[in-house]
Amino acid sequence: MPSVCNRNCVMKNHRSWRRFGAELFALLSLFFLCGCRDDHNAAGPSADSLIRIIDKCGREVEVPKKTTRILATGAVDMVLAYMLAPDKLMGFNVEPNGDFIPEKYRNLPVLGGWHTAQSGNYESFIAADPDVIFAGGPENIERMQSRFGSIPVVCLDRWNGFENYEDSIRLLGRAAGEVEKTEELIAWHKEAVRLVESRTNDIPDEKKVRVYYAEGKKGLNTEPSESPRTELIEVCGGVNVASIDMKNDKRQGMAEVSMEQVISWNPAVIIIGRGTQNTLKKEIMSHPKWKSVEAARSGRVYVRPDNPFSWFDGPPGPNQIVGIYWTAKILYPELFSDIDLKKKTRDFYSKFYHYELSESQLSSLIGDL
């Protein structure tokens, strides 16, 4: 009988070979994707083949006029790159949720990145041979540029407010050579915000719908009103009930709250989001303590759609644009009864997620809203 030490050594070696195999597979995938570009930048790009842009960090960056291969260092920028230029995207930072995405994109390699989880690998990114890399903020931008060498790194905004969306969308679109698609997305976003604000701006504060954003396995984690993760509530005329201080929180939000706090806040609507269990809605609707909350008693408890990307938070970014109409309808169903959410969802998915939804898939996203 082998000793415990021998068994542990075998297990460790097995895990090491599995990890090595996974990394080798990713690099081989990138090698075949890049095989046709062996001479890429062999002599360096000529001056007339470049354009100069000023990124969101104030840096002057030269990128190719004709971009065919792009990567992003974070999930938010990855989603935008996929929305505007899916055929140029060389890999995902994180795997998309579900399967409402064409198979040819679903099978792109997952390269990791530098966002909430520091899972990126510089060698894997360089091996993908991108024309340009998009980064989501000023943190370590110069260090990142030095590690990527001659590959230009374009700094975008951190998506900390709907008012910042347009500039970052336009910047990525220009650098990626997708100006027409960029303007289409901006127009979609502007119209959604315009319509929602035109109907909710005059609602008195005392009549605004009070909303609790339930996160975590038990629904007792949340975000305060100043968090960009819950900005959709305010954009759509609601009030985030979570009056908590998260200045010293180091976990990207998800502050712990008590059941007693939620009961005292007594929200009229609950939105279920990050890190939750599939059974949480059922528990909220049936548990005696949760039934003390107006939203649970009235049945106004909603799970955010998140296939292939979340409509509300997770991450806060351009993926939330499709969630504007959804959030408005769950907060003020009478004010938005004329909005055909199915039609809006089909349109957005077709144009920006490059996927045609079936009737059953639509139903799984929005139910009977």
Torsions phi, psi for 50 (to 5 deg): -120, 155
**Token pair for 25:** 């597979």
pTM confidence score: 0.85
| Tens of pLDDT, residues 229-244 | 899 999 999 999 998 8
CATH number for the segment(s) 30-177:
3.40.50.1980
Strand partners, 61: 53
Mean of all residue pLDDT scores within the chain: 86
Q: What is the pLDDT of residue 88?
A: 98
Peptide bond into 138 cis (omega under 30): no
Q: Is the pLDDT of residue 36 over 60?
A: no
Residue span(s) of the chain under CATH 3.40.50.1980 come to 30-177, 203-339
Q: What is the pLDDT of residue 84?
A: 98
Contact, 309 vs 319, CB < 8 A?
yes
Name the amino acid, one letter, at 229. R
Contact, 254 vs 275, CB < 8 A?
yes
Q: What is the pLDDT of residue 34?
A: 46
pLDDT bin (cut points 50, 70, 90) of residue 49 is confident
Torsions phi, psi for 13 (to 5 deg): -65, -40
The DSSP string of 29-96 is HHHHHHGGGTTTTSS---GGGEEEEE-TTS-EEEEESS---EEESSHHHHHHHHHH-TTTB--BSSPP
* E-only strand ranges, 128-260: 132-135, 153-155, 210-214, 221-222, 239-240, 255-256
Q: What is the pLDDT of residue 309?
A: 95
Q: Is the pLDDT of residue 102 over 80?
A: yes
Place of tokens 């009070």: 210
Residue percentage of the chain with pLDDT more than 90: 68
Q: Give domain 203-339's CATH architecture.
A: 3-Layer(aba) Sandwich (3.40)
Kindly report each contact of residues 134-138 with a partner whose C-beta sits within 8 Å and lies 24 or more positions away, as own/partner: 134/70, 134/71, 134/72, 134/73, 134/77, 134/80, 134/81, 134/172, 134/175, 135/72, 135/73, 135/74, 135/77, 136/72, 136/73, 136/74, 136/76, 136/77, 137/74, 138/56, 138/57
| Tens of pLDDT, residues 51-75 | 999 999 999 999 999 999 999 999 8
Angle between helices 179-200 and 323-331 in degrees, nearest 10: 10
Q: What is the pLDDT of residue 46?
A: 60
Q: Give Cα 237 distance to the centre of its chain.
A: 22
Contact, 270 vs 331, CB < 8 A?
no
pLDDT average, residue stretch 142-158: 91
Q: What is the pLDDT of residue 159?
A: 67
